[in-house]
A and B are shown apart, each in its own frame.
Chain A
């Protein structure tokens, strides 16, 4: 099939496009033919080379992304931990993980929908305040009241 495709393109467009075909690519049958794409491609290529020079840019965003996933996995593990081994350690870990996961999650929502520097600053400040109060409240609950694990158990027993 691939051979037929190659022969076909030789007959239609001459030999040169053949050199750009499947030998070095993984998928031999994909042969887009679009000479109108030129202006778009030049821009795309400049961006591609931008990436080559960007090694000095901050890795903060990338590290944040990874930290979000790590925290998600940790939170997943805390579910069974809370069920099979309820204790203050799990209570406080759950309080921290839930608050941080929620904080980062809402942060992403704000990044998606809030535009402009000042609006973003106000929204982020509000979120930070909310998360702080949430964590404080959960810790207060863990210390002065029954604790998160016990609270869910009690709620479900009713």
Chain B
């Protein structure tokens, strides 16, 4: 059956169905001379040279839960990375030790609610980024790509993040 199929394909009978005859069809085709990176750079250079306007995207496309979660994942990642870098920089620059500055902030007696809020504010990005990171790792294993699964795992991540952050804030 497959043999018959390949014979037909070699005669170039039906070009409208790409299917599995792809590799058989074009073994003789020559590979491209430029790299993807070169092509991309040429594309961007041409766009800026011709001063082409960019099509609207964020302003017109309907926001969906997976979209919001994806950009939040990126936002929390960049934010956490920035916070860690700021902390490291402070450690190098500031003269006193960490407990000193901690006592300094504590002596401001902000009140339990604000402290709880601050803890939640710290815990939520970490939780969300961690749980969604696990979701990403599942995708990397090839699992959970069907749309209902994407939404289900997405809501699970959001729920778990809120619960974990609340639990950590109340610790």
Residue in A33, A49, A52, A116 whose CB lies within 8 Å of B44 = A116
In the complex, which residues of chain A have a beta carbon less than 8 angstroms from the beta carbon of B106? 158
- Asked if A109 meets B25 with Cβ closer than 8 Å, knowing A19-B8, A130-B85, the reply is no
Chain B min CB distance to A4 (Å): 20
> B64-104: contact bitstring with A at CB < 8 Å (1 yes, 0 no)?
00000000001001101100110111111000011100100
In the complex, which residues of chain B have a beta carbon less than 8 angstroms from the beta carbon of A156? 119, 168, 171
Interface size in chain A (residues, C-beta < 8 A):
55
Does B137 lie within 8 Å of A72, measured CB to CB? yes
**Complex CA–CA separation, A72 to B8 (angstroms):** 49
Chain A min CB distance to B84 (Å): 6
The answer to whether the Cβ of B45 comes within 8 Å of any Cβ in the partner chain is yes
The answer to whether the Cβ of B163 comes within 8 Å of any Cβ in the partner chain is no
**Complex CA–CA separation, A154 to B40 (angstroms):** 49
**Complex CA–CA separation, A99 to B87 (angstroms):** 12
**Complex CA–CA separation, A151 to B115 (angstroms):** 16
**Complex CA–CA separation, A43 to B95 (angstroms):** 63
In the complex, which residues of chain B have a beta carbon less than 8 angstroms from the beta carbon of A33? 16
Chain B min CB distance to A106 (Å): 6
Does A76 lie within 8 Å of B91, measured CB to CB? no
Q: Which residues of B contact A (CB under 8 A)?
A: 1-2, 4-5, 8, 13-23, 25-27, 29, 31-32, 40-41, 44-45, 74, 77-78, 80-81, 84-85, 87-92, 97-99, 102, 105-106, 115, 119, 130, 133-134, 137, 140, 168, 171
Return 26 A-B CB contacts under 8 Å, by A number: A16-B14, A17-B17, A19-B8, A35-B16, A41-B16, A44-B22, A46-B32, A48-B23, A48-B26, A69-B140, A105-B78, A106-B81, A116-B41, A137-B85, A137-B87, A137-B89, A138-B87, A138-B88, A138-B91, A141-B88, A141-B98, A154-B98, A154-B102, A156-B168, A156-B171, A158-B106
